[in-house]
Amino acid sequence: MKKRTKKIITVGVIALVFIILLFPFRTGLKDGGTIIYNAVLYRLTFWHATNDNYESGFYEATEFEIFPFNWINEH
């Protein structure tokens, strides 16, 4: 194989692995509508939970965690 072909294959494999690490899986919690997008490199949580401590009756927030902190505190 030529040197250029090896370089193209290497870049393609690295890009494919990076895409796989960024692909999220969606999880919904039964607490009022919280949605979690969890990937290997990050976790994005849209909180929408019932809570009587708030005037509206819901706790609403957005949380973003990056690797390695997204694996420390599992929901």
Rounded to an integer, what distance in angstroms lies between the CA atom of residue 51 and that of residue 57?
Answer: 5
Residue 73: per-residue pLDDT: 65
Give phi and psi for 65, each to the nearest 5. -125, 140
Question: What are 26-75's pLDDT values in tens digits?
Answer: 998 887 788 999 998 899 999 888 877 877 788 888 999 888 777 776 65
CA dihedral 59, 63, 69, 73 (to 10 degrees): 20
pTM of the model: 0.71
Which tokens belong to 64? 């973003």
